[in-house]
Structure 1
Amino acid sequence: MSTRQDWAPKHITPEHAGVQVTTQGLREHLDSIDVKALLERHQALLFRGFGVNEAALAEVMPTLLPERLAYIHGNTPRTKVGENVYTSTEYPPEYAISMHNELSYAPVWPARLLFCCIQPAATGGATPLLDSARWLAELDGGIRDAFSGGLCYRQYLHGGRGFGKSWQATFETDDRAEVEELLAPTGAEWEWTTSNALRTRHVRPSTILHPVTGAELWFNQADQWHPATLGEETMGELASIVPADQLPQSVTFADGSPIPDEFVREVRDQGLALAVDVDWQRGDVLLIDNLAVAHGRRAFAGSRRVLVAMSH
Structure 2
Amino acid sequence: MPPMNDCKLLELDTQQTWDDTRFPIAYGPENPAMDLNDTVAWVGENRESLLQQCTRHGAVALRGFPTDTVESFDQVIRALEVENFPYERSLSNAVRINRTERVFSANEAPPEVQIFFHHEMAQTPLYPQYIFFYCEIAAEQGGATPLCRSDVLYEKLQQRCPDFCAACERHGLQYTNVMPGSDDPTSGMGRSWQKTLGVETRDDAEARLRTLGYSFLWQDDGCLKAVTPPLPAVMEVSPGRKTFFNQLIAAYCGWKDARNDPSKAIRFGDGSPLDADAVAVAIELSDELAYDHAWQQGDVVLLDNRVAMHARRSFVGTRKVVASLAEMQTQSLVTA
What band does the TM-score fall into relative to the shorter chain? 0.7 to 0.9
Quote the Cα distance in structure 2 between the aligned partners of 1:94 and 1:194. Answer: 30
1:296 deviates by: 1.2
Match of 2:114 in 1: 96
Match of 1:143 in 2: 164
Opposite residue 272 of structure 1, the aligned amino acid is D
Quote the Cα distance in structure 2 between the aligned partners of 1:113 and 1:155. Answer: 23
Q: Which has the larger displacement, 99-108 or 195-204?
A: 195-204
Match of 1:44 in 2: 59
* Unmatched runs of 5 consecutive residues or more in structure 2: 1-16, 328-336
Match of 1:207 in 2: 234
1:113 deviates by: 0.4
User: Residues 15-34 of structure 1: matches in 2 within 5 Å?
Assistant: 15=30, 20-33=33-46, 34=48
SS at match of 2:91: coil
Quote the Cα distance in structure 2 between the aligned partners of 1:297 and 1:306. Answer: 10
Identity across aligned pairs (percent)?
28
Give yes or no for contact 1:51–1:282 (8 Å, CA) kept in 2. no
Quote the Cα distance in structure 2 between the aligned partners of 1:144 and 1:89. Answer: 30
Higher relative contact order structure (alpha carbons within 8 Å, sequence separation ≥ 6): 1
Quote the Cα distance in structure 1 between the aligned partners of 2:282 and 2:70. Answer: 35
Render the CA deviation track for 1:109-167: whole Å, top value 9, x for unaligned.
00000100001111222212111111111223143244332211122223338884320
Change (3 A) 1:173 1:60: farther
Alignment pair present for 1:291 and 2:306: yes
Render the CA deviation track for 1:265-295: whole Å, top value 9, x for unaligned.
3322321221112221110111110001111
Give yes or no for contact 1:114–1:308 (8 Å, CA) kept in 2. yes
Alignment pair present for 1:153 and 2:166: no
Match of 2:268 in 1: 253
Give yes or no for contact 1:25–1:50 (8 Å, CA) kept in 2. no
Match of 1:222 in 2: 248
**Structure 1 length as normaliser, TM-score?**
0.82
What root-mean-square deviation, in Å, do the aligned CA atoms of Structure 1 and Structure 2 show?
3.1
Give yes or no for contact 1:127–1:279 (8 Å, CA) kept in 2. yes
**Structure 2 length as normaliser, TM-score?**
0.77
Q: Which has the larger displacement, 287-296 or 194-203?
A: 194-203
SS at match of 1:56: helix
Change (3 A) 1:177 1:48: farther
SS at match of 2:225: strand
* Unmatched runs of 5 consecutive residues or more in structure 1: none
1:176 deviates by: 4.8
User: Residues 47-126 of structure 1: matches in 2 within 5 Å?
Assistant: 47-52=62-67, 53-64=69-80, 66-71=82-87, 72-126=90-144
Q: Which has the larger displacement, 148-157 or 260-269?
A: 260-269
Match of 1:301 in 2: 316
Give yes or no for contact 2:118–2:249 (8 Å, CA) kept in 1. no
1:65 deviates by: 5.6
Give yes or no for contact 2:197–2:205 (8 Å, CA) kept in 1. yes
Opposite residue 90 of structure 1, the aligned amino acid is E
Quote the Cα distance in structure 1 between the aligned partners of 2:23 and 2:183. Answer: 43
Give yes or no for contact 1:116–1:307 (8 Å, CA) kept in 2. yes
Quote the Cα distance in structure 1 between the aligned partners of 2:142 and 2:207. Answer: 41
Match of 1:268 in 2: 283
SS at match of 1:288: strand
Change (3 A) 1:114 1:65: farther
SS at match of 1:110: strand
Quote the Cα distance in structure 2 between the aligned partners of 1:128 and 1:138. Answer: 19
Quote the Cα distance in structure 1 between the aligned partners of 2:81 and 2:211. Answer: 25
Change (3 A) 1:311 1:73: same
Match of 2:152 in 1: 134
